[in-house]
Amino acid sequence: MAVSSSVSHAKALQFIEEITTNADSVQQKVLAEILNRNSDTEYLKRFQLSRTASRDEFKSNVRVVTYEDLQPDIQRIANGDRSPIFSSHPISEFLTSSGTSAGERKLMPTIKEEMERRQLLYSLLMPIMNKYVPGLDKGKGLYFLFVKAETKTTGGLLARPVLTSYYKSDIFKTRPYDPFNDYTSPNEAILCANSFQSMYTQMLCGLLMREQVLRVGAVFASGLLRAIHFLQHNWKQLAHDISTATLNPKITDPCLRECIVSKYLTNPNPELAELISKECSTEEWEGIITRIWPNTKYLDVIVTGAMAQYIPTLEFYSGGLPMACTMYASSECYFGVNLNPMCKPSDVTYTIMPNMCYCEFIPLDNDMSSSPTQLVDLADVEVGKEYELVITTYSGLCRYRVGDILHVTGFHNAAPQFRFVRRKNVLLSIDSDKTDEAELQKAIDNAALLLRGFNTSVVEYTSYADTKTIPGHYVIYWELLVKDEETGNFPPGEILNQCCLAIEESLNSVYRQGRVADNSIGPLEIRVVRNGTFEELMDYAISRGASINQYKAPRCVNFTPIIELLDSRVTSVHFSPSKPHWTPERRG
C-alpha cells in the first residue's frame, strides 16, 4: 500500500476511535450546532426554542414527528417557498425516499453540505475493509451502479434518489484517482439513464477486465442478482463484441458509445470471448462469479433486512464468497459503518457514527403515549433491546421517526452497535420497494371490484415475496367465494390476469417504477387456492401453538411449510398481462 494511502487510512481509523470514544459529547455538540444554525427557522420558532437551548429543553419542547406531520411544510418548499422553514441553509434539492406517503415517494429536503457529510462516511469504508482484506489497491471493483429517474417540483427543485444525487455530483464525477476505489465501470456507463445500455456496458467493461476484478458488488443484493440474470440473457452478444471489438448497436447513447469504443473495445479478444462463451453456455451456473472473475475476494452488497432473502441465491452464484455489508444509510441521513465487514450476514452490526446527526431511540415497547422525553439517547441504549430510530439533522429534520427498527448488539467504545431488524410496518419488499399491510389491503379491494360482475368475492388472502425468480415478484394467494359456481359463472382467466394488473396499479410509485423503469420487479402473480385452504392454514397454526381465539390469517407468509401447504392447494395461476402506469412525475 502506498505511503499516502497508509497515512490516510490510519487517520480515518483514528477518527472512528475518537468519535466513538466520545460518542455522547459528540452528540451534544451536533445538537448544539444544529440548534445554533437553525433556531431562526420557522419550524423551530414554533417551539419557542432559543439558539442556546439545552438538550433537555429541546426534548421537552420539540415533538416527535412522522413524514405526514411535516408534509404540508415540505409541500410549501416543493411549490417554491424559499423562506427558512426547516434550515437556515438553502434547500438544494429533494432526496426521494424508497418509503412512500399516499402512494408517492417521500420528499426529503437536503442542503449542499450534506453531500460532504455523506462523502465523509464513504471515506471510512476502505480503511476499515483494508484491515480485513489487504491488497485491494492492486485491482479493481466491478460495481453495478445506476442512476434513476429524476424530476423537478413545481418550485423548480430537483427530486431524485440519494444515490442518483451522489453519482451526478462533482464529488463523484471528478473524484481523484484512488487505487482503493478504482471501478471497472466508467462514469459514462454509470450515468447513462437507459438501464439496458448502462447495465450492458458495465457488464462489458467488467468482462474485459475480469482478471483485475477483486470485488463484485451492487447497492442491494437484488441488484447484483439482476446483473447475473442479465449476463445469462446477453452473454452471446457480449462475447461477440469482445471477439470482434465492435459494440452492440443497441448502445445508442453517443457519449457512452464513444467512451466504450475508444477506451475499452480497442482490440479484438477472441480468447476472452471463447472463455466467456464456454462458462456461460453451460446450464450449470453455480459459482459463475468466481469462474468469470477468478480473483474476486468478496461481494459488496447489502444483505440485511429484506435483502436477507437473497443470501442463498448469492451463495450459489458466488461459490460461497463472503458478503460485505459496509454501511447503514437512508435518504434522510447516512448513519454508520460495519466495523467487521467480513462477518457472516446474520452477524452484521452497524456502529452509529455520532457526528452524522443527533440520534434518539424509542424503546420498541413504548407506544408513544408517554412523554417524548422518554426517548433514549445514543449513549444510553441497552444491549439486547430493540428501538425505533429518531433523528435530528443538519438539513432541518427535527425528532423525525425514520421507521427503522434496530436491535442493540453491543458497543464499540461508547458508540452502540445495532443489527438492522426491519422497516416498520413493511409487509412485502423485493428491491427498494416497501409495501405495507394497509396498502396491500387497498390494492386487493380495488382488484376485487373486477370480480363483482361474476358474483365473486375474495374470502381470504395472504402474500409473499418470491425471490426465486429474477427479478423477484409479489405472489398473492386468493381464496374466492363464487356464488354462482353451480351455473359455471367462474371469473375467466383474463379477468384474474386483470386483477393482477389492478393490484399493481394500486401500489405505490416505488413499486411501479421498479416494474416499469428499473425492471427490478417481475409481474405480480395471483395463485387461486381451493375453498377451505385458509381453514387448513388456521388448523396448522393452532397445531403449532397459536390461540384459536386470537388467530387471524397472516397477510404475509415466509415460513416454508406454510408456503408449501398453500402451493399444494393452488387451482389456477395468473400474472399481470402488462406493466402498470408509471412516470417520473408525481401524482398531484
> What separation in angstroms does the CA of 213 have from each of 490, 568, 579?
56, 44, 36
Q: Are residues 363 and 459 in the same domain?
A: no
399 and 454 co-located in one domain: no
> Is 438 in the same domain as 507?
yes
pLDDT of residue 488: 63
Distances (CA, A) of 526 to 476, 516, 571: 5, 19, 11
Q: Tell whether 534 and 474 lie within a shared domain.
A: yes
The C-alpha angle with vertex 301 and arms to 351 and 17, in degrees rounded to 5, equals 25
Does 417 lie in the same domain as 513?
no
347 within domain boundaries: yes
Burial class, 511, CB count within 10 angstroms (exposed 0-12 / middle 13-18 / buried 19+): buried
Cβ atoms of 409 and 419 within 8 Å: the answer is yes
* Total number of domains constituting the chain: 3
Indicate if 394 and 510 belong to the same structural domain. Answer: no
Q: Is residue 312 part of a domain?
A: no
Q: Which structural domain, as residue segments, surrounds residue 264?
A: 140-148+179-293
Angle at 300 between CA 10 and CA 274, to 5 degrees: 120
The verdict on 416 and 276 lying in the same domain is no
Instruction: Tell me, yes or no, whether 284 and 347 share the same domain.
Output: no
Residue 128 lies in a domain: no
Classify residue 420 as left (phi > 0), alpha (psi -120 to 50) or beta: beta
Instruction: Single out the residue in 390, 423, 456 at which a domain terminates.
Output: 423
For residue 95, the cross-strand partners are 108, 160
Q: Based on the fold, state whether residues 564 and 454 are members of the same structural domain.
A: yes
Q: What is the pLDDT of residues 213-238, one digit of tens each?
A: 999 999 988 889 999 999 999 999 99
For residue range 327-385, what is the model confidence (pLDDT) as tens digits? 999 999 999 999 999 999 989 999 999 999 999 999 987 544 434 448 999 999 999 99
Instruction: Name the residue among 115, 351, 322 with its Cα closest to residue 217.
Output: 322
In a domain, 166, yes or no: no
Answer yes or no: is 363 within a domain: yes
Of the three residues 400, 423, 446, the one that is the final residue of a domain is 423
396 is a domain residue: yes
Per-residue model confidence as pLDDT tens digits over 156-212: 999 999 999 999 999 999 998 888 889 999 999 999 999 999 999 999 999 999 999
Q: First CA to last CA across the chain, in angstroms?
A: 54
Cell 463484441 belongs to residue: 241
Within this chain, do residues 560 and 451 fall inside the same structural domain, yes or no?
yes
Q: Which of 242, 272, 293 is the last residue of a domain?
A: 293
In a shared domain, residues 435 and 412: no
- Residues with Cβ within 8 Å of 187's Cβ and at least 6 positions away in sequence, in order, are 172, 173
What SS3 class is residue 255? helix
Calculate the CA 114 to chain-centre distance.
20
- The single-letter DSSP state of residue 315 is H
Contact by Cβ (8 Å): 175, 181:
yes
458 contacts 482 by C-beta, under 8 angstroms: no
Q: How far apart are CA 545 and CA 540, in angstroms?
A: 9
Can you give the pLDDT of all 588 residues of the chain as single tens digits? 566 778 899 999 999 999 999 999 999 999 999 999 999 999 999 999 888 899 999 999 999 999 999 999 999 999 999 999 999 999 999 999 876 666 678 899 999 999 999 999 999 999 999 999 999 999 999 999 999 889 999 999 999 999 999 999 999 999 988 888 899 999 999 999 999 999 999 999 999 999 999 999 999 888 899 999 999 999 999 999 999 999 999 999 999 999 999 999 999 999 999 999 999 999 899 999 999 999 999 999 999 887 888 898 999 999 999 999 999 999 999 999 999 999 999 899 999 999 999 999 999 875 444 344 489 999 999 999 999 999 999 999 999 999 999 999 999 999 999 999 888 888 899 998 999 888 999 999 999 999 999 989 998 899 999 998 889 999 999 999 888 766 667 899 999 999 999 999 999 999 999 999 999 999 999 999 999 998 898 888 878 776 666 677 888 998 888 999 999 999 999 999 999 999 887 654
DSSP per-residue string spanning 62-87: SPPB-HHHHHHHHHHHHTT--S-SS-
Q: What are the angstrom distances between the C-alpha of 339 and each of 48, 324, 410, 547?
A: 40, 11, 12, 43
Bond preceding residue 471 cis, omega within 30 of 0: yes
Q: How is 188-252 classified by DSSP, letter by letter?
A: HHHT-S-HHHHHHHHHHHHHHTGGGEEEEEEEEHHHHHHHHHHHHHHHHHHHHHHHHT---TT--
Residue-level length of the chain: 588
Q: Could you tell me if residue 170 is inside a domain? A: no
434 and 552 fall within a common domain: yes
Contact status, residue 121 vs residue 353, Cβ threshold 8 Å: yes
Question: Does a structural domain hold residue 56?
Answer: yes
